[in-house]
Amino acid sequence: MEFSVSRVHRFPLIGGALTLIVYGAMAALLYQGLEPTDSAPCLIWLPSGVGLAAVILWGWSMSVPVFAASAIFMSLMTGASPPQILWVSLFNALGPLVGGGLVRLSQSRRLPVCRMADAIRLLGLGIGVSALISAFGGLADLALRGADYPLVSQYVDWLMADMAGAAACAPLMLCAMAGVRNRVSDMIGAGFAEAILVCLLTVGLAVQIFFGFDDPEGRYLLWPTVLMLPLLWASTRLPLLLAHLLGTLVMMLAIIASAKGTGALHIALPGMQGDSTALFILVQSSLLLIIGAQVTERRDAEETTRQTNIWLEHKVAERSRALAESEARFRQLADTAPIPLAVSRFSDGSVLYLNEKSRELFRIDDSPFSLRVDDFYASRQAREHVLALLDEFGCLQDYEMLLQDSQGRQFWALISCTLIRRDGEKQIIIGVSDISNRKVMEESLQMANQALQEHLVEVESRHEGLRDKAMRDPLTGLFNRRFLDEILPERVATALVGGRQLVIVMIDVDHFKSINDTWGHRGGDDVLSMLGSYLAERFRSTDLVCRYGGEEFVVVMPDTSLEMAMSRAHALCDGIRSARFFANGHAISITLSIGIAALPLHSVEATTLVQRADEALYQAKRAGRDRVVMAPYGMDEDMAFPGRV
């Protein structure tokens, strides 16, 4: 699933508001419900997962509401000083910004919850990097408060709280906001009653483990690992979102039990209560994320394979029916065909079938099964030549040769043969057309046809010349705008069907009016003519270089990435800047402003792509000219720009 697919990704303002509200509310609830310590705000910091998921879903701008929510929370709830608020909030926002940004860059716009490799990147690049950076906020807070607390222990406590919170919250938010694998039918397919029973047993077991056991000496410390079994079952049998919801419920029971100082994770040793809970939540959430992603990936592969098999079975059945129907139609058509048809065996030339027209043509009265094809050829060499051609090419169309009937009368005929395999042997379908009468007029027809062909070639040559003149700009020799409007939609459609890239480059000569004013229109024409030759030499033969009008040129670059097009455009600007042009014999220098738009990034419509490139060109000129500007991503199709200067 890509970021641009889900409708929620199109509304970053709504995402920012949700991030601000959820982050602040979750931070306040955790801070009030779980007693803070000197080393960390609580046992597990779920808001770190909110910030990370927000950046992955809506982009790097979500670090702003994360910073604001953290600052508001600290101001209202903790009574921290302004420097503490600033530094802690800064690291709380910087961690998700870097971690989420790395995930977005590595995932190629796909949400990291449906593929195992993506889930591992989320744990390492997203959760790991985010927690490593955010935990420095604890060190800043400790330094500003002047607290006497070991720096390493402070950092480790914040790191564990941030990692556990991010691992528990981020995958759940990504699944919920993306809507992946959340259909109730998936759970029904896994056994609805079975799913409900396992969920109830899991919750009941979690309540017993976290609230029924109380041993500060840590004898029940391994009991929470028993919960991994039903949670792993849920990740393989339930929809992805429901599995993470069940894991979140178990996690919340563990957090509440730890806050109350009870349960299997309750240890009397100082500092071990929060570490054991955070470690349990981190391991549980990581396993759910990885196993769930692996199972989802396998389900996708199985579904793809299943659909492919269904399609293949359908095609095979369809092909079998078509062959049977085709054979029946052939028999029916052959019997009533107005032309002579025959079927013979390739190996020995035995005649297997003759229709009525063949019997009349070859004057045959007896059974065809006593005949051989060799009896109808005027020479044996001609028969061997036909067999050699069939063995090499499989078919023969309108081959002219001399045949004879059963009474020895020879005549010219056109034969068409097709080699087929039937019942384990090669057979030949033969069609015969008597052309004896046509042979008499052949020479005259050939001469007339030759004269006609010569005339058609001459007409076509003139037509191509006129068409080329109509499609070419007479000044530069390049294609004109009319040709571009005609060919660009075809190029765009071809690129879309083939899943290939295409880039539109819009070029404009800076301050061209001053050239006309100084050297006259003839001088301007000299510059445009030289520039047209320069552009034609600098681009590939597969690129389409056109004069768009006035001093504007358009280059269509198929099979070209946006990065390559930008590099070529910058190189073109550098080359033009150092080149010399002549206006009425006077050497002058020119610069170019270039706008670039790419398919399908900016549009999938030809006219809109040109418009986007033109808008980017205007931005280049407005920004000072002599530069390359790429069209912005989110621009509306009907956005109007003021006139170019």
Distance between CA atoms of 157 and 254, rounded to whole angstroms? 17
Coil, helix or strand at residue 601: coil
Q: Give backbone dihedrals phi and psi of 52, rounded to 5 degrees, phi first.
A: -65, -45
Q: DSSP string of 396-423? A: EEEEEEEEE-TT--EEEEEEEEEEEEET
Query: Residue 234 corresponds to which tokens in the numbers above?
Result: 């849920």
pLDDT digits (tens, 9 = 90+) for 324-374: 777 777 667 776 777 788 888 887 778 888 887 787 778 887 654 567 777
Coil, helix or strand at residue 34: coil
pLDDT digits (tens, 9 = 90+) for 246-301: 777 777 777 777 767 676 666 544 444 456 777 777 777 777 777 777 777 777 77
Distance between CA atoms of 96 and 133, rounded to whole angstroms? 8
The shares of helix, strand and coil residues in the chain, as percent rounded to the nearest 5, are 65, 15, 20
Q: Residue 33 contacts by C-beta under 8 Å, 6 or more apart in sequence? A: 256, 259
Rounding to the nearest 10 degrees, give the CA dihedral for residues 82, 84, 87, 93. Answer: -90
Average pLDDT over residues 48-68: 84
Indicate the burial class of 143 (C-beta count within 10 angstroms; 0-12, 13-18, 19 or more): middle
Q: Do 593 and 508 touch, CB atoms closer than 8 A?
A: yes
Distance between CA atoms of 491 and 503, rounded to whole angstroms? 11
How many CA atoms are closer than 13 Å to the CA of 403, on its beta-carbon side? Answer: 23
Confidence of residue 585 (pLDDT cuts 50, 70, 90): confident
Which single residue is written with the structure tokens 């604001």?
68
Query: Residue 572 corresponds to which tokens in the numbers above?
Result: 């073109």
Confidence of residue 642 (pLDDT cuts 50, 70, 90): very low
Instruction: Tell me the average pLDDT of the chain.
Output: 78
Say if pTM beats, i.e. exceeds, 0.85: no
pLDDT for the residue numbered 463: 64
* CA 316 vs CA 312, 320, 325: distances in Å: 6, 6, 14
pLDDT digits (tens, 9 = 90+) for 497-509: 988 999 999 999 9
Average pLDDT over residues 179-208: 64
Q: Which residue has the higher pLDDT, 224 or 166?
A: 166
Coil, helix or strand at residue 183: coil
Indicate the burial class of 249 (C-beta count within 10 angstroms; 0-12, 13-18, 19 or more): middle
Most confident residue range from 37-51, 70-84, 261-275: 70-84
Query: Residue 334 corresponds to which tokens in the numbers above?
Result: 């052959």
Q: What angle do CA 507, 508, 512 make, to 5 degrees?
A: 160
Query: Residue 511 corresponds to which tokens in the numbers above?
Result: 């301050």
Q: Which of 36, 38, 46 is nearest to 259 (CA)?
A: 36
* CA 634 vs CA 38, 253, 476, 488, 639: distances in Å: 46, 44, 35, 23, 11
**Any idea what DSSP says for residue 631?**
P
Coil, helix or strand at residue 343: strand
